[in-house]
Structure 1
Amino acid sequence: MKKLIWLSALIFIGLMLQAQTPVPAGDVSGLWNIDGSPYLIEGEITVPINETLVIEPGVTVNFQGSYKFNVMGTLLATGNEQDSILFTTDDPETGWHSIRIKDTDNNSQDTTRIMYCRIEYGKSSGTCPDNCGGGIFISHGRACITHNNIQHNSAYIGAADWGGGGIYSEYSNPVISENIIQYNHSGHDGGGIYCSYGSPVISGNIVRNNDSDFRGGGIASFLFAAPIISNNIIESNSSNDLGGGLYLSGGDASVVNNYIIGNIGNEGGGLGLYLNNSKIINNLIAGNEANHGGALYNKGSSPWVYNNTIAQNEAYSGGGGIYNTFEMIGMMAFHSNPTIINSIIHDNTAS
């Protein structure tokens, strides 16, 4: 009987070892399926231009160190509701260096699709842009990121700091929808999501419990970005400067039909705007906290604020609901003149 047990155990161990697929540094393409899972990434890997890597439902991609997953061609990581794909590491302290989608738009590659995946323990570090995008980095890229859980990723402070603890997007127009983006950290801006120079669609996500050391605990939008931020729950995020939930600077964002609740920022608990004239429409902005502007902090900004409910926010110094101030650049003063129409502003406090 004992011999039979030992034989069964050895067969089981052999099958487990056989299932593992080591992936050395270099180019990757083709098909990764459940039979080869987990795929053990042993160095920096790249999907080359004009090549495609398909990852099937149920696969685990396990990074053995701080290695990048570069996508210059097309990545199709499409799980399903019953069987997701996991990007992870056995060493969360060291982490791995994120999925990095680069120049796929410039090179006319097909859209990368990341769907029903869990992306965790990514850590981007070094000098910019290596320190951006803890979970996913997109630059001049084509990407559709939907129905994922993006969590416990970090973007660390470095030279020419930017951020994006969960997702970083520049010069790109990705669709980021129906994801849970939580417990991500940025050493600078955008704990959950950072975008600049593009028009991403950020819709139907739960963005919660993210934090940044500077601006935009949940989402940060910079530098001529024109994101559509709609139908999201943005809650319990924090930043040490402007915009606990959302930070908008430059560009022309549309912030529509969101729940922006329970966020904390130094200035602008719900939203912090800097030199920005975005449209803020049909949102519930409630239960946020800051020193100035519990719900909304405008610095040199004149947003169009229409049909919002702004309630039960708190400021420790001034502007429990909305705080307006100006910005001096050289000899020029940029004043804040928001247009506020048909909004309920109720039960906010300043102490």
Structure 2
Amino acid sequence: MKRWPLIVLSLFFATAAHADTTFVSGTVGGVWDLSGNPYIVQGSPLIPADSTLEIQRGVRIEFQGPFAFIVQGIMNCLGDIGDSIYFTQDTVDFPDRWQGLRFSSVDQPSLMRCVVAEFGGSYNGTIRVTDSQLTLEHATVRNCAIQSFNVDGGQVVLSDCHFADNGVQGGCGGSLRAQDATISLQNCRFERSGALDGAGLCVYRTSLTAYSCTFDHNEGAIWGGTIYADDSDLDFRNCIFESNAAIMGAATYIIGESSTIFERCVFARNHAVRNGTEGTYGALFLPANGPHRISNCLFYRNVGMNNGAIFANGIVTIEQSVFVENTDNPIIGGSPDSVRYNAFHVRPPSLSGMPSGFGILTETNGNGDSTDIYGNFFSDPGFDPAGQYGEFSLSFDSHLRDAGNPNGTPDPDGTIPDLGPYPYFWLQAIDDLTLYRVGESLDINLRWSSIPEAVEYRVYRTSGGEFDWDAAYYVGTTDSAGFLHQNAFSDTQNSYTYIVIAFDSHQAITWQIPEHVRHITSDSDPAFFGN
């Protein structure tokens, strides 16, 4: 008898835990809010063409089988950062995965803000757009077994979105596939996705623009570790392609009547490899007709037989870019029309396909470096990992500074363009620097007048009475007009010379490295896949 109260109490709590559950199937509309949580999908919901469904923050939609959510009207998901809306599934209790959100023939755009869509399993995509308009903001699409996003016609805008762990080694486009569409990406990240081709993006007859996006650790089984494109117009600016892999075109595989722009992009540690078998074309494979314009990009430690960095045919311009430690057989292949004002860490052993006169050093640029008639030269890049852009920031004395086209668009500080994606920004000189020793300590105090535009100041020092950049070393950074150099007199030198450089990193905001990539760059072996 003593057990009965416990049993009754247990039953009471079980009932209370599910008191607000809402079971969903068939025609839906109106408003879904927290009072109905969770929304259990037991059939395929439908928003008719004349209806709107508003889903408020914190709502959970849980699918209990292979059902699709069909949107012929308008769906507005209004989550908040930290209080997202979830489209999800318990794949243990319900192993047949849900079939995605399907937006079709909608006259007015739908909005998905602060949404997580996960564990979908449809060949049509966990989110599918057909001749519709859809905007995603701060959305995450992850752990989808086949394709995560599929666009067949229409217009899609994605901003601050994250695609992770999607796709399989089959099909094209593990994270995003599009045809006959217009796609805009801003500050999005595509990582750890897989596909037969184009593990990150696969596009046909599509116009795609991407600004400040990151594509890292994606793996294509055959063509295009990140991108496969055919008959499409592509515009990538301020993007990072890091540690992607495929047997051909570790970063991109772009064919047909496609045209491309890659401006201020980083291609680092991409590797043409599959299951231990070395492949071809370490970064960009661009046999498409073009035109192709590659400007102010960095190619760093990309690995691939035939071409480590770029293979390009058609109308091709490569300018103000930097090539460091790529496979050099050769670094650039194909038949580029114009290769001007670029820097190579070493002289390429093969110059086949290059314009006549490339690599023959007969000129001198404004920095005193020997160049060919096109302004190309061979030099260590002079990176400063402590700089504002991380490991690929330019040092104060880098030969890449002011080495671009003197008749080109100036950098934000009004100087001749720097090479590579991240410019060095000059402010006026510090000309009233004062130094004094702090009592009998080993410390030196530095003081100077503040510069209104300066965000921070960098301090350098050499021994002796004159400053020598070849012997200089970095002391530290401060955001105020003063710096305490502790233990400055700990060595045996009696004389030192200091220089303080002011700069405003905010002025270079259009070249800002995406925040979410700062932690993935490293000197690790690029061959992380397939070995």
TM superposition score normalised by structure 1: 0.86
Partner of 1:285 in structure 2? 267
CA contact (8 A) 1:53 1:74 kept: yes
CA contact (8 A) 2:219 2:246 kept: yes
Distance 1:319 1:238 in 2: 19
Partner of 2:491 in structure 1? none
Offset, 1:7? 4.7
Partner of 2:187 in structure 1? 204
Offset, 1:154? 3.0
Query: Residue 195 of structure 1 is aligned with which of 157, 163, 178?
Result: 178
Distance 1:350 1:344, change over 3 A: closer
CA contact (8 A) 2:124 2:150 kept: yes
Distance 1:203 1:83 in 2: 22
Is the counterpart of residue 173 in structure 1 residue 155 in structure 2?
A: yes
> SS state of the match for residue 43, structure 2?
coil
CA contact (8 A) 1:273 1:301 kept: no
> SS state of the match for residue 44, structure 1?
strand
Q: Which residues of 2 match residues 36-185 of structure 1 at below 5 A?
A: 36-91=36-91, 93-104=95-106, 108-109=107-108, 111-124=109-122, 131-133=123-125, 135-155=126-146, 165-185=147-167
The one-letter code matched in structure 2 to 1:320 is: G
Partner of 1:236 in structure 2? 217
> SS state of the match for residue 91, structure 2?
coil
Partner of 2:294 in structure 1? 305
Partner of 2:234 in structure 1? 253
Name which of structure 1's ranges 299-308 and 52-61 shifts more when overlaid on structure 2.
299-308
Offset, 1:262? 0.5
> SS state of the match for residue 140, structure 1?
strand
Partner of 2:246 in structure 1? 265
Distance 2:155 2:34 in 1: 31
Offset, 1:247? 2.0
CA contact (8 A) 2:137 2:159 kept: yes
> SS state of the match for residue 168, structure 1?
strand
The one-letter code matched in structure 2 to 1:193 is: L
The one-letter code matched in structure 1 to 2:324 is: H
CA contact (8 A) 1:292 1:323 kept: no
Name which of structure 1's ranges 1-10 and 260-269 shifts more when overlaid on structure 2.
1-10
Offset, 1:2? 6.9
Distance 2:193 2:328 in 1: 25
TM superposition score normalised by structure 2: 0.57
Offset, 1:248? 2.2
Distance 2:182 2:255 in 1: 18
Partner of 1:348 in structure 2? 326
Offset, 1:114? 1.0
Offset, 1:5? 5.3
> SS state of the match for residue 13, structure 2?
helix
Larger relative contact order (Cα-Cα within 8 Å, sequence gap ≥ 6): 1
CA contact (8 A) 1:167 1:192 kept: yes
CA contact (8 A) 1:311 1:345 kept: yes
Offset, 1:6? 4.8
Distance 1:57 1:6 in 2: 36
The one-letter code matched in structure 1 to 2:212 is: N
Partner of 2:24 in structure 1? 23
The one-letter code matched in structure 1 to 2:179 is: S
Distance 1:251 1:300, change over 3 A: closer
User: Which ranges in structure 1 are unaligned for 5 or more consecutive residues?
Assistant: 125-130, 156-164, 325-334
The one-letter code matched in structure 2 to 1:19 is: D
CA contact (8 A) 2:259 2:288 kept: no
> SS state of the match for residue 82, structure 1?
coil
CA offset digits 1:222-281 (Å, max 9, x no partner) = 12x111111111100011122101222212111111011100012111111112221111
Distance 1:77 1:53 in 2: 8
Name which of structure 1's ranges 59-68 and 335-344 shifts more when overlaid on structure 2.
335-344
Residue-pair matches, total: 317
> SS state of the match for residue 53, structure 1?
strand
Distance 2:289 2:194 in 1: 24
The one-letter code matched in structure 2 to 1:40 is: I
Partner of 2:335 in structure 1? none
Partner of 1:319 in structure 2? 307
Distance 1:144 1:249 in 2: 24
Offset, 1:84? 1.0
Name which of structure 1's ranges 238-247 and 86-95 shifts more when overlaid on structure 2.
86-95
Distance 1:182 1:301 in 2: 32
CA offset digits 1:131-177 (Å, max 9, x no partner) = 321x200011111111111001133xxxxxxxxx1111121111111
What's the Cα RMSD here? 1.7
Distance 2:58 2:9 in 1: 25
User: Which ranges in structure 2 are unaligned for 5 or more consecutive residues?
Assistant: 273-278, 330-531
